[in-house]
Structure 1
Amino acid sequence: MAHHRPRARRVRAAGFLRLAAAAACAAVCSVGCGPGATDAAAGSGARPRVAVVPKGATHTFWQSVKRGAEAAGAELGVEVIWEAQLDEGDRAGQIQLVQQLIGRDIDVLCLAPLDAQALARPVADARAKGVEVLIFDSLLEGEPGSDYLAYVGTDNVAAGRLGAEALVEAMGGSGTVVLLRYRVGSASTEDRERGFLEAMAEHPGVTVSVQDRYAGASSASAQSTALAMLPALREADGVFCSQESATAGMLLALRREGLLETTAFVGFDSSPPLVAGLRAGEIDALVVQDPVRMGALSVELAKRHLDGGKVDAINDTGAVVVRAADLDDPRIAALVE
């Protein structure tokens, strides 16, 4: 059995790394249709209609995206149509939702695809019918700027590397690690997991003992998966989870089994339970994105496109490592609220 060291609860100054900054806001004008529309239609005064489709409706992350998208819509005179299926594992449901929206006279679809491959055909169909598509949060198969308008979101490979470095630090530089993945087909989390494993491979004192288990779409399924991994978790010095509900389920499992005092733990994204765990010292660090900015920038760039402006193919909204000592920083508080 591995020797478990007491966890080092080091208080560090806030030192967050922004991966990139987002683009500036386009000027507001009353354009109600896409490129190529007639002057008469453009002058009709109708607001542009932008549909925003996240991966699901229940996670705190998506509610923050919604808040940003709706705020940008109000500022820019855009009608934001928010549509989400409840089950974040329902690929068929998201495909059906996209197909329905194409027939609702929208100008741009902003989509966080549940599956990088399964949503490629519906996106191509939307564009063939004159609806431009902007992808956010999770990359789609194809090339941003060519197969769809643009990508807005985190550099997830780099964010996964941030998580790895935070976990190595929390373990004191070496140890045995368990990775709990999210779900097959989710490009954003697959990229985080890839970045995490690439960074771990650069630390000769670290061994990743488990890297092929998936949490599923809810915290309940994540907890069940974690409890089924108890032998490996009892031997582990550190654990990394690549997504909000996976982190929440693992937190519940480690807490139930009394492993939080001997296991370094780094998760991804924030929610009230995760922030509470961070404050309590149960979680060493969270890698936190900027979902409000992600939602806002998606709508801003959709409007810019409709106004005939240039839209960059890749728009990185950044990520930051947050520790308990960082939570009183107003800039961090705005990200985790």
Structure 2
Amino acid sequence: MTISRRKLLLASSAASAAAAFSRAAIAAGPTLAVKDTYKVGFAQTESNNPWLLAQTNSMKAEAEARGWQLVYTDAAGSAAKQVSDVNSMIAQGVDLIFLAPREEIPLIPAIKSAKNVGIPVILLDRNVDQSLAIAGDDYVTFIGSDFIEEGRRVAEWLVANNNGKTKIIEQEGTAGSSPANDRKFGFDTTIAEHPDFEIVASQTGDFARDTGRQVAETLLQANPDANVIYAHNDEMTIGAISAIEAAGKVAGKDVMILSIDGGREIIQLIIDGKVAACCECNPRFGPTAFDTAVAFAQGADIPVKIINPDNFYDISNAAELIDTAY
């Protein structure tokens, strides 16, 4: 049978239109039906510090208040286990997954797997590599703090209140995580604008108290002139204080200490004079996370990023605000 050029062109156009429709349907991403209650997953990265416990408690409390079933998992600090946790939630047929990705790249396949079976994913606290997964397509949105802004705010406070302290040790968070990457970028790029300041050493403390202590001990020995420690979270800050005191120095006097997270223990250390300042990273995700899921189900236009408000603490307001800290 001979196919005319006109029919061939029509067939080609129809195929192109179908492909375009298919791409548009894929780009739209999964949807969520409107229901009275939902079965949702929350894939937590780990539970080894007060910030993560506060985040988890907020999510659990919100699920209970709404009467939703929450499938909760703890990856115990393993990206591989977190991928397995998400795949388990997919197998259990959850309606939606809240995911706090431990690292930016390893969780991409799990997000794509959920998308492929029509389960929407909302990212909490930590983001993923934006070149590999796209908000509004591969996942619904990211809810969390502006980590770059956190680092920038700490750096600006240091520049304005340094009291001659300019030699900085930086304790980085978990390698490959968005908080560590962004808090470093925000701080380092701001400090680079001020030639009187120098980051003399920078090393990961993995967001952990004991690792932070060990790293601080090593870096203080290698850089005895360092007089500022900037830690990417409270746990490493507390570890650094132990290292400073073990070296026979006075925290808050010989070495200025700056932190991010804003837990009650750190706010008390500001009042006590051991920590100079801290940018909060708000862990109370529950209300916003669940409200966003409901709005998504109702067809609302969800922004690709929803930024939590963060306080900033120093001696001027720590006593006043300590009761509001987690």
TM norm structure 1: 0.80
Match of 1:269 among 261, 268, 290: 261
Match of 1:216 in 2: 206
Secondary structure of the structure 2 residue equivalent to 1:143: coil
Match of 1:27 in 2: none
Match of 2:56 in 1: 66
Structure 2 contact 31–119 (Cα < 8 Å) conserved: no
Secondary structure of the structure 2 residue equivalent to 1:198: helix
Secondary structure of the structure 1 residue equivalent to 2:86: helix
Residues 308, 204 of structure 1: alpha-carbon distance in 2 compared, 3 angstrom cutoff: same
Match of 1:25 in 2: none
Secondary structure of the structure 1 residue equivalent to 2:104: coil
Flag structure 2 segments of 5+ consecutive residues without an equivalent.
1-29
Overall identity of the aligned pairs, in %: 19
Matched, 1:227 2:238: no
Match of 2:115 in 1: 127
Structure 2 contact 282–308 (Cα < 8 Å) conserved: yes
Structure 1 runs of 4+ aligned residues shifted over 4 Å read none
Residues 183, 124 of structure 1: alpha-carbon distance in 2 compared, 3 angstrom cutoff: same
Give the Cα separation in 2 of the matches to 1:232 and 1:170: 25
Offset at residue 55 of structure 1 (A): 1.9
Deviations 1:106-162 (A, max 9, x none): 111111111100000111001111211011111112322222100000111111101
Structure 2 counterparts to residues 291-306 of structure 1, below 5 A: 291-292=283-284, 294-306=285-297
Residues 274, 256 of structure 1: alpha-carbon distance in 2 compared, 3 angstrom cutoff: farther
Flag structure 1 segments of 5+ consecutive residues without an equivalent.
1-33
Offset at residue 81 of structure 1 (A): 2.9
Q: Which amino acid aligns with 1:113?
A: P
Give the Cα separation in 1 of the matches to 2:66 and 2:294: 8
Structure 1 contact 124–147 (Cα < 8 Å) conserved: yes
Give the Cα separation in 2 of the matches to 1:94 and 1:50: 16
Structure 1 contact 70–296 (Cα < 8 Å) conserved: no
Secondary structure of the structure 1 residue equivalent to 2:319: coil
Give the Cα separation in 1 of the matches to 2:237 and 2:32: 46
User: When the two structures are aligned, how many residues end up with a matched partner?
Assistant: 292
Give the Cα separation in 2 of the matches to 1:119 and 1:250: 30
TM norm structure 2: 0.83
Q: Which amino acid aligns with 1:277?
A: L
Q: Which amino acid aligns with 1:244?
A: D
Task: Please tell me the root mean square deviation across aligned C-alpha atoms, in Å.
Answer: 2.1
Match of 1:157 in 2: 148
Residues 106, 36 of structure 1: alpha-carbon distance in 2 compared, 3 angstrom cutoff: closer
Give the Cα separation in 1 of the matches to 2:313 and 2:248: 24
Match of 2:102 in 1: 114
Match of 2:18 in 1: none
Secondary structure of the structure 1 residue equivalent to 2:257: strand
Match of 1:144 in 2: 135
Q: Which amino acid aligns with 1:226?
A: A
Looking at both structures, which has the greater relative contact order when contacts are Cα pairs under 8 Å and sequence separation is at least 6?
1
Give the Cα separation in 2 of the matches to 1:204 and 1:174: 13
Offset at residue 233 of structure 1 (A): 4.8
Residues 311, 36 of structure 1: alpha-carbon distance in 2 compared, 3 angstrom cutoff: closer
Larger CA Rg, structure 1 vs 2: 2
Structure 2 counterparts to residues 161-172 of structure 1, below 5 A: 161-172=152-163
Structure 2 contact 50–263 (Cα < 8 Å) conserved: yes
Give the Cα separation in 1 of the matches to 2:157 and 2:222: 21
